[in-house]
Chain A
Amino acid sequence: DVQLVESGGGLVQPGRSLRLSCAASGFTFDDYAMHWVRQAPGKGLEWVSGISWNSGSIGYADSVKGRFTISRDNAKNSLYLQMNSLRAEDTALYYCAKEAPSPYPYFDYWGQGTLVTVSS
């Protein structure tokens, strides 16, 4: 079975950094693009960032561009999100999501999320 397990969330002060991880299992990790999607408390889904299977294509939402960096380690079946210069508005549940097989650009599996709280 496909499993995506996020970790690394927590309480952090504004301006500080945090690194999220997503451990993937149950599928051939390096065959698929992966994404981060977040959801602020009581709010909607927001796509954050995506990375192709070989890290050759990367995209960021305008709200995080220049502050967040997505990466992956196919040897470790892991996805990462380095978050710098955190702001209160980055407070959210961060989901790791697997992209469906090409050519479909939707997410077919999601983790349960890791909560990031940015507050002094």
Chain B
Amino acid sequence: SYELTQPPSVSVSPGQTARITCSGDALPRKYAYWYQQKSGQAPVLVIYEDSKRPSGIPERFSGSSSGTMATLTISGAQVEDEADYYCYSTDNSGNHSGNHRVFGRGTKLTVL
């Protein structure tokens, strides 16, 4: 089955730039989306269609995609950005129809 691969953890100091990668064979053809999940809370979308930022998401969050890799960048990471981040995409691999979805395994971002 189709997989999205993320590093388990990323650690930065406050004010530094954090980059979280997501690799997947279909990413050249499929958009990547990014969710932030803080402890005990439901996920929140921070990037859609590779690089677009939903309203209300701080400008320090940005996204990019090239080839089989998508990247979430947090420029000037803040302590409040400490969370788990998941990449997400659609899955049309094998006999999966258009309603299939897939999450990466998540990356724990530590800011301290």
Contact = CB atoms under 8 A, between A and B. Distances in A.
A110 B42 contact: yes
A57 B90 contact: no
A57 B98 CA distance: 8
A106 B37 contact: no
A105 B105 contact: no
B45 A62 contact: no
B99 interface: yes
Interface in B76-112: 84, 86, 88, 90, 96-106
Contacts of A81: none
Interface residues of B, number: 24
Interface stretch (A7-15, A18-26, A45-53, A84-92): A45-53
Contact of B96 (A44, A59, A95, A111): A59
A35 B98 contact: no
Interface string B44-74: 0100110000000000000000000000000
Interface of A: 33, 35, 37, 44-47, 50-52, 57-59, 61-62, 95, 104-108, 110-113
Interface of B: 1, 33, 35, 37, 42-43, 45, 48-49, 84, 86, 88, 90, 96-106
